[in-house]
Amino acid sequence: MRKAYNAAHVYMILGVVSGLYYRELTKANDFHGETQLGVVHTHLLALGMLVFLIVLALDKQFGLSGERLFTHFFRFYNAGLAITVAAMLFRGTQTVLGHDVPEAVSLIAGLGHIVLTVGLVQLFILLGKRLKASEAADSEKA
């Protein structure tokens, strides 16, 4: 459970810092257009902090973190989110600074989304197994 709590805490800090980065970078460069930086903090807060707070609650209820599949989920999900956010930060910063963005950045962001999805699939497989085990235990008691 501590892993989920720590991850949520780190993503909360990164989300707040990324919002500050967006505000200060655009202000320093007198930038008024659209940029990926405007949604990085939202992604970190929603896909990072909120998801891991939900996972923390699910772990408390179903004991997810004791399973090997939880470790796989944790690694894939965090790696996918890190890749996705890094691509967004790079694209957004390059946009604000007026530089061209290589097309490979979109491919990298897509790869991040794929890795993130693999992590989510693992979480749902694990949750399904734990729910099934919990239901079986409940029916034995009845």
Is 56 among the domain residues?
A: yes
Which parts of the chain register pLDDT below 70?
A: 142
- What is the pTM assigned to this prediction? 0.92
Is 140 among the domain residues?
A: no
Give the per-residue pLDDT at 66. 86
Is 105 among the domain residues?
A: yes
Is 46 among the domain residues?
A: yes
Range of the domain at 62: 2-135
Is 62 among the domain residues?
A: yes
Question: Domain tally for the chain?
Answer: 1
Is 12 among the domain residues?
A: yes
Is 74 among the domain residues?
A: yes
Is 78 among the domain residues?
A: yes
The two tokens of residue 73 are: 């989920």
